[in-house]
Chains A and B, each alone.
Chain A
């Protein structure tokens, strides 16, 4: 378990750095390079028709959900919980993370070119 926790700890740092870069790109494209300030389906479809953007968003989704769920786990574990509750929290967050990823992928893969 110690090795798993250590891996989770390192991955939280690594995903944090990836997110700073990924969210920077996401903000740049949607807010700063966006000349009209509007968000329309056509633009999303155009971007996602490029396989590189699609891969970027799939990886981004996985990374952001991992970082969020592990972050929540850290906040909850700040309150001293007994071992069995810690396990319940970990399993619950793992299930929540998988469900959020499926939900996000469902939206992402539903986009079709116009």
Chain B
């Protein structure tokens, strides 16, 4: 395991005051998307608990959620998941010393991939609510 200097929140905040660089931006976004995904996990488990109340209860709840606003939120969730997952791979590569030279380029490339996949996947998610 590579020896890393521990960078706490105070360090990041001070660094932030001197300008938002790509690495810091990626770190903040990774933390925010992670927290959003944990929050979503709790909501998801709450919704899925209706499965234990029987088919009618689950189907009624799902029917209420089959509207455009929830589909848009699902597209957002898809984007959050994609960013967190792909940036996570970049972090793993960095942890094992694999991409220090191309870190910046790799970050913006993955950002572009997220946008393209959200555009393609987003339409597929939303189309049912549009027709």
Contact = CB atoms under 8 A, between A and B. Distances in A.
Given A9-B1, A71-B38, A79-B8, A31 B125 contact: yes
A36 B62 CA distance: 13
A75 B51 contact: no
A72 to B, nearest CB: 6
Given A32-B124, A104-B48, A107-B49, A68 B37 contact: yes
Interface residues of B, number: 42
Interface in B52-89: 52, 54-55, 58-59, 62-63, 65-66, 71, 74, 78, 81, 85-86, 88-89
Interface in A53-104: 64-65, 68, 71-72, 75, 78-80, 100, 103-104
Chain A interface mostly = helix
Nearest to B38: A68
Given A31-B125, A37-B125, A64-B41, 7 more contacts: A20-B85, A31-B78, A41-B55, A80-B8, A104-B48, A106-B49, A110-B52
Interface of B: 1, 8-10, 12, 31, 34-35, 37-38, 41-42, 45, 48-52, 54-55, 58-59, 62-63, 65-66, 71, 74, 78, 81, 85-86, 88-89, 92, 95, 121, 124-125, 127-129
11 contacts: A9-B1, A16-B85, A37-B127, A40-B59, A41-B55, A44-B51, A68-B38, A75-B34, A100-B45, A107-B48, A110-B52
